[in-house]
Each structure stands twice: as structure tokens, then as C-alpha cells.
């Protein structure tokens, strides 16, 4: 993207797409409340598992890197609709919270139905970020319960900054779609929050390319993402992505943070 975009990365921005919650007197652990029957979809999720999600992602990476740097992507909703990507996102999120990557054929049918309801809510524009009182799908670490939660425990949970598990899934899907688009544009001198790049790659770059320099500027950028100008971020996204559904989903996640 050039020098002006070296410090911006898709990954940390997506991880901060959470909204303020409201205090509602309801149970979030009862399945009948977290996933209302009116929101459940009757379609068989197994019939939607048609492609290898890795192949889907690989094709998007190839398309992004084979296109000119100024290419815009007007239609990414097709990728957002692919249920195979949602299953992969769920697997990755499970690995993050449990340390174990569940095999695709080991995911229970009711989980696939919940995941399909989540996908449909996002695609139809009905998804609300950080909706802790109405969850389509819960973390595998959450124990099923039909008992009402105490007011104190409910308030503590609603005030928590920890994002909902379903938010993590949506973020992961967005990351799989947007990362190749922007990786093809990022400066080769950018190393933060990028796949295959870290502090060690920075050190190797410095040792190989900065041997003739006698001075360096030391700075602390640990708080750089504490106050992100959302208009600037959205402007950067719109230079590459013209899909209004994708942009609207990201914007809705950042408006109430």
C-alpha cells in the first residue's frame, strides 16, 4: 500500500470489532433464549459443505496477488456466504479457546445448525456485535444450563470486555476474506500482525539491509491501537474493498466500541 499504510494491519482492527452491551434481565445460557427458534434455519447444513475451505482461501490469495495493486474487489459477499469458511473459522476459534483443533467430521449437528444461523444473520444484515444476551452459538467451554443467571453474574458478564465467541467467528471469517486482499498491497517493510512475519523477521531485515546505518529512532507504539480513527481505517478499506455488505459489517462493529 505504500509508506502511509505500513503500521495498519487487518488483523488487530478486526479483533477490536466489539460493541457496547446493554443490561437486559434474561438468561444467556438457556439454549431456547440464546438461539430463538424463529432464528434457527431449517436448511440442512451438511448439504452446504461442498468445498475445501483451504482451496477457497488459496484461490482468493492467488487472485489477490495476480491482480494489479490498485485492483478493487467489489464482490466479496460470495465468500462471506460460503459455509465451508464458517466451519473453518469455528474450528480455528475452538483451537484458540481450547487448544484443540476439532476435526470437521467431529463437529456436532446442532453446532452446524447454530453456525448456519450465525452465517445467515450476517449475510442478511441482521447480526449485532457483542450481543451477549442473544447468542447464535456459544464457546465449547461454556457449560449448557437451563438455570437463570444471578443479576450480579449477568451484570459482570455484560460489563466484561471479553468478546463473544460468535464475534470471534465472524472476525475470523472476515480475516480469511480480507487478509489476502491487503497482504498483496502491504509494504514489504511491514512486519507487524502479518502471517509469516514477526520480530525475528524484522531483525533479519535490519541485519541484511541496514548495515550502513549508524543511528536508529526508538519509539513506543504499544498504545497505537488504543485510539484508532475509524474514518481513516474505513477509508483504507474502501480503497481495496467496494463490497458494501462487507464494509457495513465492519463499520457496524466499530461504531460502538
Cell (9 digits) for 33? 433464549
Nearest to 228 by CA among 2, 10, 3: 10
Segment among 80-84, 108-112, 218-222 with least mean pLDDT: 218-222
Measured distance CA(221)–CA(56) in Å, rounded? 35
Contact 178, 14 (CB under 8 A): yes
> What is the model's pLDDT at position 205?
87
Measured distance CA(132)–CA(24) in Å, rounded? 10
Q: Measure CA 168 to chain center.
A: 6
pTM: 0.78
- Three-state DSSP class for 30? coil
Q: Could you report the per-residue pLDDT of 7-52, keeping only the tens digit for each?
A: 456 666 666 665 443 333 333 344 434 454 444 567 899 999 999 9
Q: Which residue has the cell 505504500?
A: 2
Q: What is the DSSP letter of 106?
A: G
Share of the chain above pLDDT 70, in %: 81
Dihedral of the alpha carbons of 121, 126, 131, 134, in degrees to the nearest 10: -60
Contact 130, 164 (CB under 8 A): yes
Domain boundaries, the chain: 3-255
- Three-state DSSP class for 143? coil
Amino acid at each position: 500500500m505504500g509508506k502511509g499504510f505500513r503500521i495498519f494491519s487487518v488483523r488487530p482492527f478486526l479483533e477490536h470489532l466489539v460493541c457496547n452491551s446493554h443490561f437486559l434481565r434474561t438468561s444467556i445460557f438457556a439454549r431456547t433464549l440464546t438461539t430463538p427458534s424463529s432464528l434457527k434455519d431449517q436448511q440442512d447444513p451438511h448439504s452446504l459443505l461442498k468445498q475445501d475451505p483451504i482451496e477457497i482461501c488459496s484461490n482468493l490469495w492467488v487472485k489477490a496477488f495476480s491482480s494489479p495493486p490498485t485492483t478493487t474487489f467489489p464482490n466479496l459477499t460470495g465468500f462471506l456466504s460460503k459455509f465451508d469458511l464458517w466451519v473453518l473459522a469455528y474450528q480455528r476459534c475452538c483451537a484458540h479457546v481450547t487448544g484443540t483443533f476439532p476435526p470437521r467430521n467431529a463437529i456436532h449437528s446442532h453446532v452446524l445448525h447454530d453456525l448456519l444461523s450465525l452465517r445467515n444473520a450476517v449475510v442478511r444484515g441482521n447480526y449485532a456485535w457483542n450481543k451477549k444476551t442473544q447468542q447464535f452459538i456459544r464457546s465449547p467451554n461454556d457449560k449448557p444450563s437451563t438455570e437463570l443467571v444471578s443479576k450480579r453474574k449477568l451484570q459482570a458478564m455484560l460489563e466484561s470486555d471479553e468478546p463473544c465467541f460468535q464475534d470471534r467467528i465472524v472476525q475470523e471469517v472476515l480475516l480469511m476474506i480480507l487478509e489476502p486482499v491487503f497482504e498483496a498491497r502491504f509494504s514489504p517493510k511491514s512486519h507487524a500482525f502479518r502471517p509469516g512475519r514477526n520480530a525475528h523477521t524484522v531483525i533479519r531485515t535490519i541485519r541484511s539491509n541496514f548495515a550502513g546505518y549508524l543511528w536508529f529512532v526508538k519509539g513506543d507504539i504499544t498504545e497505537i491501537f488504543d485510539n484508532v480513527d475509524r474514518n481513516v481505517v474505513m477509508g483504507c478499506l474502501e480503497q481495496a474493498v467496494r463490497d458494501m455488505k462487507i464494509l457495513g459489517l465492519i463499520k457496524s462493529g466499530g461504531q460502538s466500541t
